């Protein structure tokens, strides 16, 4: 149980184009999903918290107009990197929140999407 998928796993695009990444919870419903970015040999960096049916909450320093998040259903959140540039090249990882039987929040990660902008 608690499987999260991401698509695509890898994408290469030209500078100036937009890229959409999908995150799905396959065997549970997730009212909350999270989007992270990780540069090589660096820590996970939370970009935003995505809540189903409402606007995402972005972390300080993350441009909401550049990283568009949509959480239209209880199993799907999307991240669109608009007008991507080489500095946006990174490993993008989503996670989905599952409330355990004890009432605690657990997060399960998708496999990640490696974005390369040429």
Partner 1 sequence: QKEVEQNSGPLSVPEGAIASLNCTYSDRGSQSFFWYRQYSGKSPELIMSIYSNGDKEDGRFTAQLNKASQYVSLLIRDSQPSDSATYLCAAPQTGFQKLVFGTGTRLLVSP
**Which of the stretches 21-29, 65-73, 81-89, 104-112 binds partner 1 when contact is defined by CB under 8 A?**
104-112
Q: What three-state secondary structure class fits 85?
A: coil
Range 15-74, binding partner 1 (CB under 8 A): 32, 34, 43-44, 46, 49
Answer yes or no whether residue 110 interacts with partner 1 by CB under 8 A.
yes
Nearest to partner 1 of 84, 93 (CB atom):
93
Q: 61: Cβ–Cβ under 8 A, 6 or more apart, which residues? A: none
Instruction: Provide the token pair at 55.
Output: 């606007």
87 backbone dihedrals φ, ψ, rounded to 5°:
-70, -10
Answer yes or no whether residue 75 interacts with partner 1 by CB under 8 A.
no
């Amino acid at each position: 149980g608690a499987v999260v998928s991401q698509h695509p796993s890898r994408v290469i695009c030209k500078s100036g184009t937009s890229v959409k990444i999908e995150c799905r919870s396959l065997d549970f419903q997730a009212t909350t999903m999270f989007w992270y970015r990780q540069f090589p040999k660096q820590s996970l960096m939370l970009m935003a918290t995505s809540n189903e049916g409402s606007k995402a909450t972005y972390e300080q320093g993350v441009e909401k107009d550049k990283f568009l998040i949509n959480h239209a259903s209880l199993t799907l959140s999307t991240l669109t990197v608009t007008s991507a540039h080489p500095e946006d090249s990174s490993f993008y990882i989503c996670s989905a929140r599952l409330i355990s039987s004890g009432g605690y929040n657990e997060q399960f990660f998708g496999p990640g999407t490696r974005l390369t902008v040429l």
